[in-house]
Structure formats: structure tokens, C-alpha cells
Amino acid sequence: MNAPVVLIAEELSPATVEALGPDFEIRHCNGADRGELLSGIVDVDALLVRSATKVDAEALAAATRLKVVARAGVGLDNVDVRAATQAGVMVVNAPTSNIVSAAELAVALMLAAARHVSPAHAALKDGEWKRSRYTGIELYEKTVGIVGLGRIGVLVAQRLSAFGMKVIAYDPYVQAGRAAQMGVRLVDLDTLLAEADFMSVHLPKTPETVGLVGAEQLARVKPSLVLVNAARGGIVDEPALYAALKEGRMAAAGLDVFATEPCTDSPLFELENVVATPHLGASTDEAQEKAGIAVARSVRLALSGELVPDAVNVQGGVIAEDVRPGIPLTEKLGRVFTGLAGEVAQQVDVEVRGEITDFDVKVLELAALKGIFADIVEEQVSYVNAPLLAAERGMAVRLVVDPESPDHRNLITIRGTLADGSQVSVSGTLVGINHRERLVEVNGYDVDIEPTDHLAFLTYGDRPGMVGTVGVILGDAGVNIAGMQVARDSIGGQALVALSVDTAIPGDVLADLQQAIDAASVRAVDLV
């Protein structure tokens, strides 16, 4: 039997090949050369890349034997995960390979910005000795605000605590008790903006976080603020940041990421109080070695038919065929659950009912957690780190299995208890031989709606005219309704409108909806 073929399309750490072992035929090509990639990928079983190789639908179509694409790093911007999923190709990455490197770079940018390292270095190279001009500030006994207390945010907080800094953090998905255990005071964003002398951003880039730190927020900070963004470009509004720095309304900024990359021409680069690097968060020898070893192990697992914890789209391994179709549905239910809750739940039950309980459904609990944390932490979420993320946030998780399912052949429910004792729930099922996904329950209301890319849920007092009002507001905003379900607990009681729409609903439109129908809650969930 021929050995599986692994194509390495970019320069990777030598430890990558060592971790693969002797059981594979190893080939190399220049993945940045399109012709070389398309010809080289034809008969390979696995493809290993970094960031320069574009793995799109065309490349996947050319790869007749491809089973797994492995990205030796965190980001997946150069891999079309949707096309890979449709082609039945697993995509894996190395979600924790760069967390130490990213945290250290954030600290480096903070120190460099505080001590004017970049302009002082440039001046000295130009033959100028300007000690008085570049007087900086200490980190000691200053307050640093961490925006996003995920794994990288925690590492940054720990390192800055060692500098003698007071650490506060904003993260609605972390419980105050958990933060207190780390010596971090949890605050709302407005408080952080008002109190912070230094600020470091560590959030994922989602529709909710894009522009989170904009002109309105920067208008409330101290003029001495030093802001660092080594997470994702676009979370800090760059024109607003430029204006605040140019006008002296904040002191300095350290940037490793930008809204559009590569970025070589930005007004921010003209300012002496900006230190910038070209997305170097993962660019250390150690991070690259960790990434290479991690994806090599995943490739070995994938090609031997075992469970692949770091798979970002499809699961490999000994999972019953009857259970597999429920994995992507359960991940979506987890993301909807988070959108509905708006905070971290203290207790989460993953309830699986029906015929599939004849099989091992533990993977559905992992899929639920993967979905729950997908949009609220900076790092990539996998089947390995999802339970750790839950434990770090004090979330108790339980898998409930029941062969009885009165209304559906199989039913998956995620039910959680929030800090105030209220409950959030969402249920889904698969319909027909094509396993069509359906949402069938939201917070106790019966619905029947497809979990499309863009969803919204509005709860309000049942009365005439509300559905029409919703339609008019969305129509005026150019948002097309693809599907709508209305449910209520009683005549004149509480009602729920569940919407699937063709495009994301802007925040100001959601606010208009809430005001127009006097909604108790308005939640938008984007699954793209």
C-alpha cells in the first residue's frame, strides 16, 4: 500500500517533518506560485501551509485525493473553510501555538510606546541625541485595562501585574469571581475607558466588535492613555485613533494589526507617537515550531481516521455516521445561545434526545462549547480547548442524554442559567434525508426556522401591528427578510419574532426596532 502523500507548500519548522514521522511521503512546493501549487496538489492526501498559500475552491477542486488542509498558525484568512467543508476536506490549525508570542508582543508594543522607542531610535540613527524630547512614562503603579480576558488577555494581565500595574478588564463573558482569582477587577467598558492609563485589546473580530473602540469611546479616555492593539484590525477604528492621537487627546498607540492588510500606507505611520509592526504576533521561532508540531500531529490523526481535536470544520475519527450531521448544527446552536445570552452562563446543559442517543454523543457536548465560545474569545476554539475555556470562566457543563423525543426524531438543546437566575435555551433538529437544519425552539417559544448566516430574535408584548412595524423598519434599512416566525406564550402575553435575513442588521437599526416595538430584548446573531 502506498504511503499517504503530504505536500508542504511553505517553509515550516524542521520539527514539523520530524513530528510527521516516517509513515508519509513528503513533498515540497512553492505554494505562492499558483501554477506550482495547482499541479502539485493533484494527488496529495494532506496539504500544509502558512499564510502565503491561497487554498480556495479552485485549489480544492484540483486536489482529487485531498483529505486535510493544515494551517501552521492561527488565522485562516487564506483557507476557504466553507469550500473545504463542501468538498469534505478537513481544515485544521494550531489555535494555541502563538498565544505566548502574541502576549509578549503586546507588552513589547506597550513598553515601546510608553518610552518612545521607535522615534528615539530613528532620531539616533539620523545623528540626533534628543534625550529630553523623548521622556517617557513608567508602567509601575499605573492602571491597565484589558479588553477581552481570553487566554492571550490573561497572559498579558499576568505579565503586566509583574510590572506592578493595577489590572482591570472588560469582558462580558467572564465572571467577576474568575477575574478576581487572577487579581483582575472586572468593569464595564465605560469604566475601563475612564480609568485606564494603558489599554490593550484582545478580542476576536466579529460584527459586534468591529469599531468597538471608536470616536465616541476615545473621546472618554485620559489624554495620557497608551493604547495597544495586537489582536485584530478593525476593532479599533483607525481614523478615530488617528484623530485622537493627532489632536493630543491620547498619548500614544502600539499597533500590530490593521483593518486592511498588508498595510504599508496609513496616516498613523506619520505620527511619532505610534509604534507599528506588520502583524508579527505569531512571528517567533517558538510559535512557528509549536504550530508546525501541532498541525503535523493533526495530520497524522486525520489520515489515520482518528478524532482531530483542532479541526475547525469537520470532525474526523470514530464518530457514528448518525451523529456526524449533528455536529455543525450543534455548533450553530452554541453560537445562537451566546447571542441570546449576551453573557457567560453559570450552568449549561447540552441535552441530546432521540435515536442518536444509541451512540456516543460526547462530541456534541464539545461542539456546543465550541460554538458557545467561537465569537467571544480571541483565540481559535477547538474541541480540545473549549472545555478549558468553560472551566476558566466558571461554567459548569453537563451532557444530558434521553432516548425519548416526543416531537422530533432527534433533538439537540442547549440550555443555560445566567447570573441572575434566568434561563436561555435554543433547540435544533435535522429534517429529511438531506439533514436540513432547523431551529425549533428559542427560550421556550416553538419556532421553525433555518439557521441562516444572519438571524435576529425580538421579544415584546403581544399586540397588533408589531410584525408590520418590524417589516417596515427592516425594509427602510434595506435588510431583506428571508424567513420569519412569530410565537407567543398567550394572547396578549409575551411574543417572539425569529427572523432570518439576507444581511447583517446594523446596530442602529436594532436600536430602532427595540424602541419601535418596545421590545424586552433584541438579539442579532451572525453565523458567518
Tell me which of 279, 297, 300, 335 is the catalytic residue: 279
Q: Sign of the CA dihedral 8, 10, 11, 13?
A: negative
Whether 261 is catalytic is yes
Tell me which of 71, 151, 232, 353 is the catalytic residue: 232
The alpha-helical segments, DSSP class H, found in 50-195 are 57-62, 81-86, 99-114, 117-125, 151-161, 176-181, 189-195
Give the rounded distance of the alpha carbon of 164 from its chain centre.
Answer: 30
Q: Is 457 helix (H, G, I), strand (E, B) or coil?
A: strand
Amino acid at 303: L
Q: How many CA atoms lie within 13 A of 432 on its CB side?
A: 4
Angle at 513 between CA 512 and CA 519, to 5 degrees: 120
Instruction: Please name which of 172, 178, 113 lies closest in space to residue 147, comparing C-alpha atoms.
Output: 172
Residue 437 neighbours by CB under 8 Å, 6+ apart: 328, 329, 332, 428, 430, 431, 450, 451
Q: Sign of the CA dihedral 193, 196, 199, 204?
A: negative
**Calpha distance 308→30 (Å, rounded):** 27
Residue 99 neighbours by CB under 8 Å, 6+ apart: 151, 152, 155, 379
Q: Is 6 helix (H, G, I), strand (E, B) or coil?
A: strand
Give the rounded distance of the alpha carbon of 470 from its chain centre.
Answer: 30
**Calpha distance 238→257 (Å, rounded):** 11
Instruction: Give the chain's count of helices (H) and strands (E).
Output: 17, 22
Whether 28 is catalytic is no
Q: How many CA atoms lie within 13 A of 480 on its CB side?
A: 4
Say which residue the cell 503530504 belongs to: 6
**Calpha distance 518→509 (Å, rounded):** 14
Strand partners, 427: 413, 441
**Calpha distance 493→509 (Å, rounded):** 25
With b for 16 or more beta-carbon neighbours within 10 A and e for fewer, the 29-48 pattern comes to bebeeeeebeebbeebbbbb
Q: Is 500 helix (H, G, I), strand (E, B) or coil?
A: strand
Strand partners, 500: 455, 483
Whether 435 is catalytic is no
Q: What are phi and psi of 92, to 5 degrees?
A: -125, 155
Q: Is 10 helix (H, G, I), strand (E, B) or coil?
A: coil
Amino acid at 468: G
* Beta strands at 68-71 and 90-92: parallel, antiparallel or unpaired: parallel
Tell me which of 18, 25, 36, 261 is the catalytic residue: 261
**Calpha distance 515→522 (Å, rounded):** 10
Positions marked catalytic: 232, 261, 279
